[in-house]
Amino acid sequence: MRPAAWGVIATVLAGIPLIAGDYYVNFTSQIFIAAIFAASLNLLVGYGGLPSLGHASYLGVAAYLSAWLYLKLGLAHWMTAPIALAATTLMAGLFGLIALRATGLGFLMLTLALSQVLWGTAYRWVSVTEGDNGLRGMTRPAPFGVSLENPAAFYYFALAITLLALWLMAKFVGSAFGATLRGTRDEARRMSALGHDVWLVRWITFVYSGFWGAVSGLLFVYYHKYIHPASLSLTSSAEALIGVIAGGSGTLAGPLIGSAIVMILKNYVSSYIERWNMLLGFVFIGIVIFMPDGLVPGIRRFRTRWWARWKARRS
């Protein structure tokens, strides 16, 4: 997507709190959080060719660490945030050492196994996580003295973080390193023969992806003021993966659109349809059948064909 298009989108989003009620402002804030989470997973799935079912580990651990440091140790938000980000990124590095021993299905199963260990720990380590009750009583930070308790204030905070995250991820995949990453996805053996350290490229991407997953975790716990073991579950990881695939893996806009669809079905449609996840499954199947590359590549292809036909008719 061109910079001008991103500018238009950012301008439109900035105006939502001026014309919409608190419900829609809060709902859009949730979409921002899901978009960062899905975009961070897309670094692995779309650009690295490494499908993961354990990405919720980074969201959940960062959220739990931030909440525990604040509630149990009484540390301020300006201290808990960097500690949670640093610890979760370090964990991503360690998980990468384990998971990247395999590729393909093996990699997917290892990420799932590591995530399930954390999920089980969150349920059973009651003295730290309070088990099924979760950690509650969080407050939102007040950066530069501006309280984020107001829905509009948190909205603009989440929007700024989302734009920064997407811009930095776009720079990452658009760099020479990003080209190398895509090369390891398409032709790992050839890249290795050319002298590139395929494992190291993937590990750096794994860690970078985990960092942004942790950022989404901080926004998640700030928004909800509560964290539960369900945030570490397979369902959380699967929803993000569905969003990436449905929107279009390996594209910058795809995870945003895909995560928005998942959030709409999860938070809005579920109030009218009890089995909303069944509807999500039908929507996903429809996208895979008619637009196997995802919505964004599919719409681009449709637009190109329509434009070619229109030009042909005029000539």
pLDDT at 150 over 80: yes
**Position with higher pLDDT, 13 vs 276:** 13
- The number of angstroms, rounded, from the C-alpha of 26 to the middle of its chain's C-alpha atoms is 18
Average pLDDT over residues 144-169: 93
pLDDT in tens, 262-295: 998 888 777 777 777 788 788 888 888 888 888 8
Does any domain span residue 287?
no
DSSP at 182: H
pLDDT band at residue 163 under the 50/70/90 scheme: very high
Does any domain span residue 171?
yes
Does any domain span residue 28?
yes
Average pLDDT over residues 29-40: 95
Does any domain span residue 295?
no
**Position with higher pLDDT, 300 vs 59:** 59
Average pLDDT over residues 191-198: 92
pLDDT band at residue 3 under the 50/70/90 scheme: low
Does any domain span residue 190?
yes
**Which amino acid is residue 80, in one-letter code?**
T
pLDDT at 204: 96
Does any domain span residue 175?
yes
d(CA 132, CA 109): 25
pLDDT band at residue 252 under the 50/70/90 scheme: confident
Average pLDDT over residues 133-160: 92
Does any domain span residue 182?
yes
pLDDT at 227: 94
d(CA 74, CA 80): 9
Residues contacting 178, CB < 8 A, separation 6+: 47, 172
Cβ count within 10 A of residue 259? 29
CA quadruple 15, 297, 269, 154: dihedral sign: negative
pLDDT in tens, 231-251: 999 989 999 999 999 998 988
3 state SS of 226: strand
Q: Name the average pLDDT for the chain.
A: 90
Average pLDDT over residues 185-192: 91
Average pLDDT over residues 57-78: 94
**Position with higher pLDDT, 314 vs 208:** 208
pLDDT at 5: 67
- HSE at residue 217, side-chain half, CA atoms within 13 A, is 37
**Position with higher pLDDT, 310 vs 94:** 94
d(CA 200, CA 206): 10
The domain total for the chain is 1
pLDDT in tens, 287-309: 888 888 888 888 888 888 887 77
pLDDT at 152 over 90: yes
77 is in which domain, residue-wise? 20-245
Does any domain span residue 278?
no
